[in-house]
Amino acid sequence: MSTEARDTIYIGKKPLMAYVTSTLIQLTSLPAVSIKARGLSIGHAVDVAQIISRKTGSAGYSIGSITIGSESLESKDGKARNVSTIDIEVKRNTS
């Protein structure tokens, strides 16, 4: 379980650059990092992946596989809701 925690960045409500920095730090020691988000945070996950691949393209990072799906969650009123999810792989390019 600790391996998954180190190579996965969960997107929440922090500022965008906090996730970019965290992902770049993880990529210094790992070949790939998974950026995961659900619901309204999906846009932020896409932004983080794009910033890393475009702004640091000369550093050799690119977007790998992208997985979308949905999870069933129970809302506060007790009803089941489907929430969209995304998993974006950002990886170091091998030279």
| The token pair that represents 83 in the structure block | 């929430």
Q: Band the pLDDT of 57: cuts 50, 70, 90.
A: low
Q: How far is it between the farthest Cα atoms of the chain?
A: 52
Helix axes of 42-50 and 16-27: crossing angle, nearest 10 degrees: 50
The boundaries of the domain holding residue 72 are: 2-92
Q: Look up the CATH number of the domain holding residue 60.
A: 3.30.110.20
Enter the pTM of the model: 0.84
Q: What is the pLDDT of residue 1?
A: 37
Give, for 43, the enclosing helix (H) or strand (E). helix 42-50
Q: What is the pLDDT of residue 67?
A: 96
Q: How many domains in the chain?
A: 1
44's CB contacts (< 8 A; 6+ apart) are 11, 16, 19, 37
